[in-house]
Structure 1
Amino acid sequence: MPQQNLSPYQCYSAFAMNPALLSYPEYADKDLEDPDYLNWFKKEKTWLEDYALFIVLKNSNEQRAWSDWDDAYKYRNKVALERFLHEHYVEVSAIYWQQFCLYKRWNELRAYAHERDILLFGDMPIFVAYDSADVWCNPESFLLDEAGQATVVAGVPPDYFSETGQRWGNPHYNWAKMQADDFSWWLSRIHNHLSLFDLVRIDHFRGLEAVWVIPSSCETAIEGQWKKTPGDELLAHLKQELGQIPIVAEDLGIITPEVNALREKYELPGMSVLQFSFDGFEDNPHKPKNITYDRIVYTGTHDNDTTQGWFDDQEKSTQAYIREILGIDANADVVDAVINQSLATKGQLVVIPLQDFLGFDTEARMNIPGVSEDNWTWQFAWDDIPEDLAIRIKTKLSETGRLITSDEAS
């Protein structure tokens, strides 16, 4: 469930679904005696009870962060929480029911997709938000001081996207504590995602090898430093439970040989982005000729501009160079050429944002890294979708050998 800035990387829970995905009539008729609900509640109560209590407490505290609540609630006094739950049970149980309806509808959607040989590809941020049920309920699993404030926060050093780096503000994990209980929270989180999706991308995968640790007093990410993390041990636990791990590693940015070795050890596909391939260097891993089967290929990710917006922002000489590399003349559609080149690579999967299929410019950009306002607001309208779009996509897949029939899928 995203917070007020709408970022899916700053959520009130790593487990709860976004209530905005349902309209009120779909969960209005609460029935806490429904057998399906009772079975689901028993399975999910570990996170659900705390999440619902957290949301109702926020509502009762004018949406203030949990660290600004009265000490009895901030530090989870058992008697105070039991009394609050008793007084607000109608509101809390309404959230139980709402989440049940969300999960039920999602599972129906997933079943509908599977009947049509469609798999769902999800996304999991490596960090959680400070103002979340996860941190409030498990403060010992994060690097916090006695007042509950983060001592260090997450981000990345200066890179392609930002000269001062990115200070995300998420608290860092207390990895020693998580190791001590065999990563139970992490494993529960991953299993939860895999119950909703067939394949999951871990955002900032390099954080499972080392993280950029920024003192919480610093306003930018420049003063941070790298700290090792026990991701190898976590992935070993996961492999022992699952065998093949259905996870994609987001390995963009500052990637070291150690990060590559970790990804390769567990046979996780990485990512290649075509917008990054036009720098003139032959060894650029994003160049189509260098893309291998163990890559998921994107024209651009949610952090990139749309391909049209990206191209429009280039100097005229760079635009001419891009056209030359793509092998198209001045009248050809650059976005269409980038899409075709993505599909023609050896990467095992290709991800093309809808904005690119529609040829939209920077006005349809999803996110600008390092900027906290006015992101995550773009939505398509059905009037934006040409009647022949599905046929055009199918034709492209067929021409590049990526059209999988039902017989092949089975």
Structure 2
Amino acid sequence: MKRSSGILMPVSSLPSPYGIGTFGKAAYDFADFLKEAGQKYWQVLPLGPTSYGDSPYQSFSTFAGNPYFIDLDMLIEDGLLTQEEVDAENWGTNPRYVDYGQIYESRFKVLEKAKERGYKDSLDAIAAFKEKNPWVENYALFMSIKKHFGQKSWQEWPEEDIRLHEAAAVEKYQKLLSDDIEFFIYIQYLFFEQWDKLKKYINGLGIDVIGDLPIYVALDSCDVWSEPEFFSLDEENYPVEVAGVPPDYFSEDGQLWGNPCYNWKALKADKYRWWIRRIEGAGKLYDVLRIDHFRGFDEYWAIPAKDDTAKNGKWKKGPGMDLVGLLSKKFPNIEFIAEDLGEPSPTVVQLLEDSGWPGMKVLEFAFDSGEANNYQPHTYDKNCICYTGTHDNATVMEWYEEAKRKDRNYAKKYLGISRSEGFNWGLIRGGMSSVANLFVAQIQDYLGLGKYNRINVPGTKSGNWQWRLLSDELDDKLAEKIYGISVMYDRAVKPKKEETAQAAEKVEKAEQAEKSEASAKKAN
């Protein structure tokens, strides 16, 4: 990975008139913004269909795409919907936050109409799509059965034979629910058609997409239902052990995630074919893969499924280099990032070193009461990714507002941040100037947004994954400032010497303009 920078913003956070970000015009505009700002990467969150709680890390399938991201304006242009039909639905009233309840009610209504008009005319293309994506028919069956049983988790389906994925029951429901199966296949066809077009555009600008791959899959997913042998389930396909992390300074009960642990013995006996298929699927969506909770490859916290907290879990050995090395060898064209945050054990550190994958450094973790830690930029080596904060962190300005005074003062002293520069830009400069090969900031941090603008608060069950960019928040002035600082620290495509001087001049002018603007506001 060459020295470069990128911006983290979920697709759901893009502005759109239909309640949530999509693969439409705003996505293309954001790609153009990244190009103007000299950025090499757009980092997104998982693109899969979300379930209860709206978390992209709890998806109905590790392969499928989120129907919410299908752009409705494009469907109108293709004659599959009318503007009147789309406008007749309620998409929520607050442009800053997604109303998932309302989106759920409205989105599938209009997609049903699109299917009625477009399915028969697309039969050949759909057949080709199914051939390239063999997972889609099983996923469509799973979603159709969920709909048939009132959206209940497959663990609660009232008929035992289909709950256990028995062949005769599968055949029965394939016939019974054929119309619904066609619908769920069709919306996956639309999703990938739009995403492929958008990704080609992004890549054509010289920008790569970084995607997140959760190490675990959701219990209520097609993956666990259809291939239970690869998960820690009993003879009746109920979980034996679930994932989480142990108690620590932040949580006396630990974190109980509830995802089923893997049956690593069975996966290894099958030569990790399930994982290979999973990475192949992710490779169709992203150029770079960030493996969430990399530690789980080394050892994982296995909690008895009946427990209400994570206290009684045990550390168990993961596949280590047996799998990590296989993935690196099997997918030489995919770059991997290891999410190695937290207190890594010596064996995790060794696995990261053996893998050759870059780990992560988060600047918000660097200034904890002035104590030395490996998140401070002077401790970095080149093979790492530096973030201001991730989707699980506060924005930089919220961190500043809520941090202890001594931590704020230490950060300002360490980075030499002046009041006129602004704390968010000072922290960004600290990351940009570090030796880390890649620097990534959330778009909220470039905008200097504080409280109520974060993506997720871990451990909370509501109010997450809702934040959205407003349509007028990005402009040429901001793109120029980001470009200037990226060039200054050799992270943008390096122009001629005179252009480099001009870029530095632009940064200085932008800062002076901001100072003048602030002074004028103060005077008024």
Please give the TM-score of this superposition, normalised by the length of structure 1.
0.94
Which residue number corresponds to residue 199 of structure 1?
Answer: 288
The residue aligned with 1:171 is 260
Counterparts of 1:300 and 1:44, CA distance in 2: 35
The answer to whether the aligner puts 1:276 opposite 2:365 as a matched pair is: yes
| 2:356 aligned to which of 267, 270, 276 | 267
Distance 1:92 1:300 in 2: 40
- Deviations along 1:313-361, one digit per CA (max 9) or x if unpaired, are 0123332222222212455411110011111111111110011111111
1:60 aligns with 2:108: no
Partner secondary structure for residue 383 of structure 1: coil
Could you tell me how far apart the structure 1 residues matched to 2:121 and 2:495 are?
40
Distance in 2, matches of 1:44 and 1:210, equals 32
Distance 1:231 1:32 in 2: 48
Separation in structure 2 between the aligned mates of residue 329 and residue 109 of structure 1, nearest angstrom: 40
The worse-fitting range, judged by mean Cα deviation, of 75-84 and 388-397 is 75-84
Name the stretch that deviates more: 293-302 or 102-111: 102-111
Q: Which amino acid aligns with 1:17?
A: G
1:245 Cα deviation after fit: 5.3
Q: Show the counterpart of 1:83.
A: 172
Bigger shift: residues 122-131 or 243-252: 243-252
Aligned AA (1:170): N
Q: How does 1:201-350 map to 2 (within 5 A)?
A: 201-243=290-332, 246-279=335-368, 283-330=372-419, 332-350=421-439
CA distance in 1, matches of 2:201, 2:248: 41
The 3 A distance-change label for structure 1 pair 161 and 31 is farther
Task: Classify the secondary structure of the residue corresponding to 1:272.
Answer: strand
In structure 1, the gaps of 5 or more residues are none
Cross-structure match for 2:126: 37
- In the alignment, the residues of structure 1 paired with residue 478 and residue 229 of structure 2 have an alpha-carbon distance, to the nearest angstrom, of 50
1:374-389 residue pairs with structure 2 within 5 A? 374-389=463-478
The percent identity for this pair of structures is 36
Q: Secondary structure of 1:208's match?
A: helix
CA apart distance, 1:123: 0.5
Higher Rg: 2
Q: 1:15 is matched with which residue?
A: 63
- SS of alignment partner, residue 393 of structure 2: coil
Deviations 1:363-401 (A, max 9, x none): 011111111221111111112334422111111111111
State the alpha-carbon separation in 2 of the partners of residues 95 and 391 from structure 1. 43
- Distance in 1, Cα, partners of 2:424 & 2:324: 37
Give the Cα separation in 2 of the matches to 1:51 and 1:244.
27
Quick check: 178-187 or 90-99, which moved more? Answer: 90-99
1:192-249 deviation per Cα after TM superposition (whole angstroms, max 9, x unaligned): 1112111000000010000011112222222212100113111232233234751100
Contact 1:32 1:38 in 2 (8 A): no
Q: Deviations over 1:255-284 (max 9, x none)?
A: 112112112212100000001111356751
Q: 1:39 to 1:261 in 2, by over 3 A?
A: same
Superposed CA deviations along residues 143-162 of structure 1, whole A, max 9, x for unmatched, are 11233221111011234653
Q: Is the 8 A contact 2:377 2:431 kept in 1?
A: yes
Runs of 4+ aligned structure 1 residues displaced above 6 Å come to: none
Secondary structure of residue in 2 paired with 1:97: helix
- The Cα shift of 1:80 comes to 2.4
What is the rounded CA distance, in whole Å, between the counterparts of 1:272 and 1:385 in structure 2?
26
Q: Which moved more, 1:348-357 or 1:22-31?
A: 22-31
- Residue 120 of structure 1 corresponds to 209
Give the number of the structure with larger relative contact order, counting CA–CA contacts within 8 Å between residues 6 or more apart: 2
d(CA) in 2 for partners of 1:239, 1:305 = 32
Native 8 Å contact 1:11 1:128 kept in 2: yes
More deviation, 64-73/160-169: 160-169
Change (3 A) 1:309 1:65: same
Deviations 1:80-132 (A, max 9, x none): 22222112212101211211221121111111111110111111000000000
In 2, distance between residues paired with 1:359 and 1:233? 43
Amino acid at match of 2:321: D
Residue 410 of structure 2 aligns to which amino acid in structure 1?
A: Y
Structure 2: stretches of 5+ with no match in the other structure: 1-48, 81-110, 497-524
Residue 139 of structure 2 corresponds to 51
The answer to whether the 8 Å contact 1:335/1:356 transfers is yes
Query: Any conservation in 2 of the 1:308–1:356 contact (CA below 8 Å)?
Result: yes
Aligned to 2:278: 189
Aligned-residue RMSD, C-alpha: 1.9
Q: Which residue identity does 1:54 align to in structure 2?
A: F
Task: Give secondary structure in 2 for the equivalent of 1:248.
Answer: strand
Contact 2:321/2:351 (CA < 8 Å) preserved in 1? yes
After superposing the two structures, state which structure 1 stretch, 205-214 or 233-242, moved more: 233-242
Structure 2 CA distance for partners of 1:292 and 1:111, relative to 1, 3 Å? same
Q: 1:6 aligns with which of 27, 30, 54?
A: 54
Structure 2 counterpart of 1:318, one-letter code: D
Task: Say if 1:208 and 1:156 are closer, same or farther in 2 by CA, change over 3 A.
Answer: same
What's the offset of the Cα at 1:9? 0.9
Which residue type is aligned with residue 20 of structure 1? Y
Secondary structure in 1 matching 2:242 = strand
Pair 1:164–1:311, CA change in 2 (3 A): farther
Residue 257 of structure 2 aligns to a residue in which SS? strand
2: CA distance between counterparts of 1:163 and 1:391?
46
- Paired residue type of 1:13: S
Match of 1:96 among 172, 185, 204: 185
Relative to structure 1, the CA distance from residue 127 to residue 406 in structure 2 (aligned partners, 3 Å threshold; closer, same or farther) is: farther
Aligned residue number for residue 22 of structure 2: none
1:23–1:161: structure 2 CA closer, same or farther, 3 Å change rule? farther
- Does the CA-based 8 Å contact 1:270-1:295 persist in structure 2? yes
Q: Distance in 2 between matches of 1:405 and 1:36?
A: 42
**What is the CA–CA distance in structure 2 between the aligned matches of 1:255 and 1:245, rounded to whole Å?**
25
Task: Read off the aligned partner of 2:119 and give its amino acid letter.
Answer: K
C-alpha distance in 1, partners of 2:301/2:385? 25
Q: Contact conserved, 1:153 with 1:168, CA < 8 A, in 2?
A: yes
Q: Answer yes or no: is the 8 Å Cα contact 1:238–1:245 preserved in 2.
A: no
**How far apart, CA to CA, are the structure 1 residues paired with 2:364 and 2:186?**
43
Query: In 1, are the aligned partners of 2:370 and 2:407 still within 8 Å (CA)?
Result: no
- Matches of 2:59 and 2:334, distance apart in 1: 25
